[in-house]
Amino acid sequence: MTPGRRHLEPLKEWLIERFIWLCGVSAIFFVFAIFIFVFREGADYFFSGFKAGEFFTSIEWYPTSRTHVRYGALALITGTFSVSFLAMFLAVPFGLGAAVFISEFCPPRLKEGLKIVIELLAAIPSVVWGFIGLTIMNSLIVRLFNAPIGLNMFNGAIILALMSVPIIVSIGEDALKAVPDSYREAAVALGCTRWQMIFRVLLPAARNGLLAAVMLGIGRAVGETMAVLMATGHSIRIPHGVLEPVRTLTATIAAELGEAPVHSDHYQVLFIIGILLFTITFVINITADFIVRGIGRK
Amino acid sequence: MMKMKGPFSLLPLLLALLLAAGCLRGRQPGQRGTGQKQVIQNSGSDTMVNLAQAWAEEYVRIKPAVSVEVSGGGSGTGIASLINGTADIANCSREMTFAERERALQNTGKDPVEHLVGYDALAIFVNLQNPLHEITLEDLAEIYGERGRIERWSDLGVQPPDGKRDKIIIISRQSNSGTYEYFREAVLGKTRDFRLGTIDMHGSKDVVELVARTPGAIGYSGMGYATDRVRMLRIARKHGETAYAPTVPNTQKGIYPVARPLFMYTLGEPEGELRDYLEWIHSPEGQDLVVRSGYVSLSRTGSHAPAQGEEHQP
């Protein structure tokens, strides 16, 4: 029995190794498969009738017009960027602040409680967030800010910030926790105050992890669909202020793909928007990667 | 002996049930699945989904052997399901387009048949704080239409509803809802598009909700979605003409300008259970449910009565 089993040991090892390799490689495979699928659905139109000039410079999005169909996505692109930027403007300071607090200042018992609550926050489905935006935030914004309409960029950004803060907090906290205690001890031994230690030692030491946390937060904000569809007002325009309704790329796909006839121009343009979203996240990730490496080299 | 009696005493009952079921479906030999429930798949217009559900629930009470399964998703979705065979009846709050008919014929070999089942009157909603009580189709077109001239409440000659902000907040629907298409056709005409910058909501109920919460807003939805937190406007075709309230009699008479027919589509002339169901929908009992769901019933029966709302388009 035992010698036989010992004989099988290398095989088992090999199988496990292959399996783990497959798990790792499958991620690459899936990303490429999705990209190819999305591109294939939109490719016909992309190479024949697609007017890139109109798409990127016109705000006139009339996919179902009877007389003059126009696919200008500028307002949608602006919408996605403005909502995501405002959301990050709110979420990054809060998220990183909370991460620093939990990792450095928080008494241990409160820490456990906080972590559980924050993870719970991350588990709330986006449609529930959207519903909160549509009902509670809607009335609140009208009352507090005297806005003409409660469904607007600010509403969407708050909802998105609330959705990405938990991600930034938990990953940021992990990054701070990974900084060896010897750094802290050294800083304190040199006579640093707590704030000096955090700003001069901890944050620079954990920058890669913190940047990853922020990037994942941005990814969530750019890619979120249901919540922004419900909370932003879904209105095609270039916003002149944060209290104006906007419409994002993702919400447009969600609202229109269901009834766009398969392989029609409209359907394919929606897939081109998908490619655009893919490209945006790709560029964000690559940039983040370069930034991290750039910091690392210094 | 006693043990034997149990199962056998059920036998006559079972036989009776089978017989009864057989009688109910007696007229159609060769109908699939003897003894089991027959299912009618019904999908389509979100405007009609509550009505279709009411019909389905009532019909099961009358004819337990048949069950009707209703799903929404929009008129286009319903027609798509009809074409790919996942639905027996498509609910549609607009007429089927020529392209859709073509596709149905190509894919299934059968022509879709139209059954008029009721009317939907679109109501124009404003906030209760709004002093406006009636509006003309012309003004609505200038509010909603591309390059429209009316952007402020003062252009309509009324005080701003919340006292300060004059700008009209225009609430519309997502660009592929049947309600959106019907409003465009009835108010903006055949060629004009909506203006950019409308707030596009994803459901009829959401439009009414948002108007109720937003003092400066105007929106449109089915009459059945009205609540007491919003006001429905009376509508005239032109300046100087009489404005009519969105009521049942006005819709049936064809004088309310924004009313549309509601259709159910089948592939080919309906047969068997499908025919019985559609006949029942046209019966007084079925039409009673149309009224109770907040829509407008047919003034006369017969499945091809002309659509009154369409006839009177200017």
CB contacts of B174 in chain A (<8 Å) are 234, 255-256
Work out whether strand B230-232 and strand B112-127 pair parallel, antiparallel, or are unpaired.
Answer: antiparallel
Residue A19, classified by CB atoms within 10 Å of its CB into exposed (0-12), middle (13-18) or buried (19+), is: exposed
B205-230 in b/e form (b: 16+ CB < 10 A) is ebbbbbbbbbbbbbbbbbbbbbeeeb
Q: Which residues 123-182 of chain A have a CB within 8 Å of chain B?
A: 134, 138-139, 142, 148-151
What does the buried/exposed string (b/e) look like for B9-39 if buried means 16 or more CB atoms within 10 Å of the residue's CB? eeeeeeeeeeeebeeebeeeeeeeeeeeebe
Q: Is residue B1 part of a domain?
A: no
Burial of B233 (0-12, 13-18, 19+ CB in 10 A): buried
Instruction: Please tell me whether residues B76 and B139 are part of one structural domain.
Output: no
Is the pLDDT reported for residue A276 higher than 90? yes
Closest-CA distance of chain B to residue A87, Å: 21
Residues B251 and B142 reside in one and the same domain: yes
Looking at the complex, does the CB of residue A69 fall below 8 Å from at least one CB of chain B? no
Amino acid A18: pLDDT: 94
Does B279 lie in the same domain as B191? no
Q: Which residue has the tokens 């859709």?
A: B100
SS3 A271: helix
d(CA B198, CA B202) in angstroms, rounded, equals 13
Residue of chain B whose alpha carbon sits nearest to that of A150: B214
CA distances, A62 to each of A45, A73, A229, B242, B267 (Å): 16, 10, 18, 34, 32
In chain B, the residue whose alpha carbon lies closest to the alpha carbon of A231 is B201
- The answer to whether residues B100 and B143 belong to one domain is no
Note whether A60 contacts B: Cβ–Cβ < 8 A.
Answer: yes
Cβ–Cβ < 8 Å for B303, B115: yes
Look at residue B134 and give its three-state secondary structure.
strand
Residue-wise pLDDT for A68-102, tens only, equals 889 999 999 999 999 999 999 999 999 999 999 99
Interchain CB contact of B190 with A (< 8 Å)? yes
pLDDT at B299: 65
Task: Write down the pLDDT at residue B267.
Answer: 92
- What residue in A sits closest to B207 (Cα-Cα)? A233
Smallest CA-to-CA distance from A277 within A218, A209, A212 is with A218
Report the pLDDT value the prediction gives residue A99, as an integer from 0 to 100. 94
CA-wise closest residue to B65 among B28, B17, B12, B29: B17
Closest CA in chain B for residue A264: B99
**Is B214 close to A150, i.e. CB distance below 8 A?**
yes
Whether B161 and B247 share a structural domain: yes
Q: Which of B61, B11, B217, B202 is nearest to B124 (CA)?
A: B217
Instruction: For residue A144, name the pLDDT band (cuts at 50, 70, 90).
Output: very high
Q: What is the pLDDT of residue B313?
A: 32
Strand (E) or helix (H) holding A115: helix A108-122
Q: How far is B104 from chain A (nearest CA, A)?
A: 13
Q: Which residue of B has its CA nearest to A237?
A: B197
For residue B166, tell me if it sits in a domain.
yes
Structural domains of chain A in order of their starting residue, each with its CATH number: 74-297 (1.10.3720.10)
Both B286 and B234 in one domain: the answer is no
Find the helix or strand (DSSP H, E) in which B119 lies: strand B112-127
A75 to chain B, any CB pair closer than 8 A? The answer is yes
Structural domain includes residue B157: yes
Query: In chain A, pLDDT over 90 holds for what percent of residues?
Result: 57
Cβ of residue A68 closer than 8 Å to a chain B Cβ:
yes
Alpha carbon distance B160, B166 (integer Å): 5
- How high is the pLDDT of residue A2? 56
Residue range(s) defining the domain that contains residue B196: 121-259
- Find chain A residues with C-beta within 8 A of B130's C-beta: none
Whether residues A60 and B73 touch (CB distance < 8 A) is answered with: no
Cβ–Cβ below 8 Å for A151 and B210: yes
Domains of chain B: total? 2
**Are B90 and B197 found together in one domain?**
no
Chain A within 8 Å of B178 (Cβ-Cβ)?
Answer: no
Q: Does B224 touch chain A (CB under 8 A)?
A: no
Whole-angstrom distance, CA of residue B90 vs CA of residue B114: 10
Residues of B in contact with A255 (CB under 8 A): 174-176, 200, 202
pLDDT in tens, chain B (314 residues): 333 444 444 444 444 444 444 444 433 333 444 456 789 999 988 778 888 999 999 999 999 999 999 988 788 889 999 988 889 999 998 888 899 999 899 888 889 999 999 988 899 999 999 999 999 999 999 999 998 999 999 999 888 877 778 899 999 998 877 788 889 988 998 889 999 989 999 888 889 999 998 989 999 988 878 899 999 999 999 998 999 999 878 887 878 999 888 999 999 999 889 999 999 999 999 998 987 776 888 864 333 333 333 333 33
Residues listed for chain A: 298
With beta carbons under 8 A apart, name residues in chain A contacting B201: 234
B44 and B141 fall within a common domain = no
Please name the amino acid found at residue A228.
Answer: V
Mean pLDDT value across residues A56-64: 91
Contacts of B216 in chain A (CB under 8 A): 148-149
A234 and B175 within 8 Å at the Cβ level: the answer is: no
Does B255 lie in the same domain as B145? yes
A142/A134 Cα distance (integer angstroms): 12
**Do B113 and B158 have their domain in common?**
no
By C-alpha distance, the chain B residue nearest A239 is B197
Sorting pLDDT into bands at 50, 70 and 90, what band is A164? very high
Q: B196: which chain A residues are within 8 Å (Cβ-Cβ)?
A: 59-61, 75, 236-237
Q: CB-CB: which of A63, A75, A150 is closest to B175? A: A63
Q: How far is CA A240 from CA A109, A145, A206, B241, in A?
A: 46, 16, 37, 39
Band of residue A295 on the pLDDT scale cut at 50, 70, 90: low
Q: Which tens digit of pLDDT belongs to each residue from A203-235?
A: 999 988 898 889 888 888 888 988 999 999 999
d(CA B313, nearest CA chain A) in Å: 18
Q: Does residue B94 share a domain with residue B56?
A: yes
Which CATH number belongs to the domain containing residue B53 in this structure?
3.40.190.10
What span, in angstroms and rounded, lies between the C-alpha atoms of B45 and B52? 9
B250 and B135, same structural domain?
yes
Nearest CA in chain A to B163: A148
Answer yes or no: is B200 within a domain: yes
Residue A287, SS3? helix
Is the Cβ pair A258, B198 closer than 8 Å?
A: no
With 90 as the cut, is the pLDDT of residue A287 above it?
no
